[in-house]
Structures are given as C-alpha cells and as structure tokens.
C-alpha cells in the first residue's frame, strides 16, 4: 500500500461521482497520494457526471449509487447504452448493504466491482491498481502486435484481421462478468467473516458462484485458443458447426447491442481451412454489428437483426448473411472488398477485414463473395 504506483507517461482518467463533497475530496487526495500520472475528474451530481462522460475520455468511474438528481444506476445504464465501446471500468461505491439483487442489478448494468462506505483505503487503492494495470497490459499487447507486424507479411495480415475483429475487446467482454462475480463473491465472504455475519449456507452459495464463474473463464480460454489456431492443411469440416462456433465468439457483444442473430443449423460439409473460414464469417458478422449500431443512432427504435441462411444448389453451397443496418451507397458496394478501404473513422477500422474475407473465400475456399442492398439492409452472398 505504501508503494506508489508509477504508470510512466500513460494517463489514466478517473471520474469520481458523489453528492458528498467530503467523500470526493477524500478519494481525490487518496488516489493522488498512491497513484501517479492520473487525471482525476469529479462530479457532485449525476448531471455533471453525464456531461464529463460525454466530453472526456474516462477509463474508470467511481460511482455513488444514491444521488438526489440522477442515480448511480441511471448513470451506469447510460454508460452501458451509449459508451460501451469505450471499455469503461465502473466501480459502485455504496453505503447500502450489498445483497444478491443489488449485485445482480449492478452486473447487468456493466459494473466490474463494488466498494462499501466507509471506504477502506487499502482495498480501494489495491483494486484501482489492478484495473490500471489491466489497462497498461492491454496497451503493451497492442504495442507488441504492432512490432511483430513488421517481421512477416503473412503475420501482418493475420494481426490486422485480429485487430479488425477487436479480439481483445471480445475477450474482455466475455471475461468481465465472471471476473466481477469472482471478485464480488470473494469480497462478500470476507466481509461476512470479518463482521460475524457468516452462515454456512451463504458461504457455500458464494463459493458455488465463484466455481461457475471460473468454469466460464476456462471455457472462454479454450474457445478463443481453438478459434485462432493456425492451420497448414485443408480438411473436410462441418460448415454449420463452424458458423455456430463463430457466433459464440461474437454473441456477447451482439446481445449487449440488442442484436438478434438467427441461424438454423445445416449439415453441410466443406473443404478448406476451417479457422480461416470462421475468421471470414466473423469479419462479416462484425461488419453487420457495426452497421446496425450506426443505424441505431439514427433510429433508436430499430431492433437489430442478423439472419444467416444456407442453401445447396447444383453442387454449390450458398451462404446468405443479411443485416438490417441500412443500405450502403453504390461507391461503398463497389469498393468494400478493396484493401484499406473503410467507411469508419480512421481510429475505428483499417479497411482490411472485408478484403481478407474476400481473399479467404476465393483462395482458401475456391468460392466467391458479393454484397448488395436488400430491404432496409445489406446481404453478403458467399458461393462455394
């Protein structure tokens, strides 16, 4: 605790939200004392907090639950609905007794942790150091990927494709809730023992929650490891099974965007590189998710839909992937498979994802891919 965390020149932006100025001053002083190179923003009302979140890049929010104008629940809901892609670590600070329903509601709104008042300074600083180190670790991973890209052209294409799919973000999404469950239930066990509130049944239930969350983490590790394992030999594989495995990779972020995906399993065998095929499908699904999210900005009542249909015709397999994220201009339709062409902001995409998808379908699968507007959206057509 006495050791001050030095995070070099990287700035971590922390927002403290509490209607009691005394707590804000206490937290501000405590964080500044033990953690260097942080930018601390403060808000004494929900309205001020929303203004800061809209205009500043915030990494961590320390959020009081009970406030007179806009509650902490409402602010958390705003972050989940509007700022989810910014990967904000939300920590609730509460004087209320933390029960199962309280914890469940917080996790559903994207919380990663809880801290009870009166605040234990050792607990607060140690947890903040953990989350800050997570941010720095992700930054180092991205930097290492960037260095490795220069070594090999094939590796360059693979890493760009992984970056295009926001693979680190997907892992974080899959891990966030299980890690929060482990942390919170361990904290509940500790507090119940310290305050003499421990019951045999309650402790067993918390341990069961931790075990289930740990199993979910292990499942995610295997899932992502198998997905990106390189292949050197073509094989005969089950197309429907491969598409379902790909959907599992992206399903969490689709649910968070309230996007429904429909795919009926088809027993069709294909020959090629299974993981490359799955990466091609993942790129299309990611493109669909981004299109629907952009369309929802214009039409907030839009219910996101992705439909995958498969047909067998004249010895050929036809895969149609439709999304209702709006029509594209003629220029985009003509150029979307070109390398480095992107309709996104420069910091949001490289323009390589759909180009690599086309390369995989044509080269590895001996097929073709096209895209065209249909109804209120776009449909990708793959022929193998």
pLDDT confidence bin for 109, thresholds 50/70/90: confident
pLDDT (0 to 100) of residue 346: 38
Plot region of 366 (φ>0 → left; ψ -120 to 50 → alpha; else → beta): left
Note the pLDDT tens digit of each residue in 238-288. Answer: 999 999 988 887 887 888 888 999 998 778 898 888 888 988 898 899 889
pLDDT (0 to 100) of residue 372: 92
Q: Report the distance separating Cα 81 and Cα 79, nearest Å.
A: 6
Half-sphere exposure of 49 (CA within 13 A, CB side): 30
Domains of the chain in sequence order: 8-148 (3.40.50.2300), 230-383 (3.30.565.10)
Task: Using the CB atoms, write b or e for 140-167: b if 16+ within 10 Å.
Answer: eeeeeeeeebeeeeeeebbbbbbbbbbb
Question: 63 Cβ partners below 8 Å, 6+ apart?
Answer: 17, 49, 72, 75, 76, 90, 91, 92, 93
Helix (H, G, I), strand (E, B) or coil at 305: strand
45, two tokens: 């009302």
Is the C-alpha dihedral spanning 178, 179, 180, 181 positive or negative? positive
Helix (H, G, I), strand (E, B) or coil at 45: coil
Q: Which residue has the higher pLDDT, 147 or 26?
A: 26
Instruction: State yes or no: pLDDT of 68 exceeds 60.
Output: yes
113-127, 162-176, 216-230: least confident range: 162-176
Note the pLDDT tens digit of each residue in 189-246. Answer: 887 887 777 677 778 887 887 887 777 667 666 656 655 566 667 889 999 999 998 8
Instruction: State yes or no: pLDDT of 290 exceeds 60.
Output: yes
Percent of the chain with pLDDT over 70: 73
Q: Which residue has the higher pLDDT, 114 or 381?
A: 381
pLDDT (0 to 100) of residue 156: 46
Q: Report the distance separating Cα 302 and Cα 306, nearest Å.
A: 13
Cβ–Cβ < 8 Å for 264, 320: no
Task: Using the CB atoms, write b or e for 201-239: b if 16+ within 10 Å.
Answer: eeeeebeebbeebeebeeebeeeeeebeeeeeeeeebbb
Q: Report the distance separating Cα 81 and Cα 222, nearest Å.
A: 29
Instruction: State yes or no: pLDDT of 307 exceeds 90.
Output: yes
Instruction: State yes or no: pLDDT of 332 exceeds 60.
Output: yes
What is the rounded average pLDDT for all residues in the chain? 78
Instruction: State yes or no: pLDDT of 171 exceeds 70.
Output: no
Q: Is 48 exposed, middle or buried (0-12, 13-18, 19+ CB in 10 A)?
A: middle
Plot region of 196 (φ>0 → left; ψ -120 to 50 → alpha; else → beta): left
pLDDT (0 to 100) of residue 354: 82
Q: What is the residue whose two structure tokens read 């895969």? A: 319
């Amino acid at each position: 605790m006495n050791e001050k965390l030095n995070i070099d020149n990287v700035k971590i932006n922390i927002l403290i939200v509490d209607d009691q100025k005394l707590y804000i001053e206490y937290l501000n002083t405590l964080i500044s004392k033990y953690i260097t190179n942080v930018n601390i923003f403060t808000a004494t009302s929900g309205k001020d907090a929303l203004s800061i979140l809209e205009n500043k890049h915030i990494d961590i929010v320390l959020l009081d639950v009970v406030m007179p104008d806009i509650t902490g629940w409402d602010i958390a809901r705003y972050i989940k609905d509007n700022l989810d892609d910014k990967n904000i670590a939300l920590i609730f600070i509460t004087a209320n007794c933390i029960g199962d329903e309280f914890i469940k509601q917080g996790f559903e709104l994207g919380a990663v942790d809880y801290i009870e008042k009166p605040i234990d300074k050792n607990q607060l600083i140690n947890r903040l150091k953990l989350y800050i180190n997570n941010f720095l670790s992700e930054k180092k991973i991205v930097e290492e990927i960037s260095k490795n890209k220069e070594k090999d052209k094939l590796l360059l294409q693979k890493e760009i494709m992984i970056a295009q799919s926001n693979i680190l973000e997907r892992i974080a999404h899959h891990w966030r809730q299980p890690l929060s469950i482990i942390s919170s239930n361990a904290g509940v066990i500790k507090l119940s023992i310290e305050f003499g509130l421990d019951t045999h049944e309650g402790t067993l239930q918390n341990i069961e929650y931790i075990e289930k969350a740990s199993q979910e983490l292990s499942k995610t590790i295997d899932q992502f490891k198998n997905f990106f394992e390189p292949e050197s030999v073509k094989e005969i594989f089950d197309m429907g099974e491969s598409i379902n495995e790909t959907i599992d990779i992206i399903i969490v972020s689709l649910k968070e965007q309230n996007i429904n995906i429909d795919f009926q399993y088809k027993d069709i065998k294909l020959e090629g590189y299974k993981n490359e095929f799955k990466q091609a499908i993942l790129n299309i699904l990611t493109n669909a998710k981004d299109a629907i999210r952009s369309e929802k900005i214009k039409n907030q009542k839009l219910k996101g839909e992705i439909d995958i249909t498969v047909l067998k015709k004249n010895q050929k397999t036809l895969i149609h992937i439709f999304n209702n994220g709006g029509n594209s201009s003629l220029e985009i339709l003509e150029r979307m498979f070109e390398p480095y062409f992107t309709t996104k902001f420069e910091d949001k995409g490289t323009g390589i994802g759909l180009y690599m998808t086309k390369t995989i379908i044509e080269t590895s699968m001996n097929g073709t891919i096209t895209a065209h507007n249909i109804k209120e959206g776009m449909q990708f057509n793959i022929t193998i």
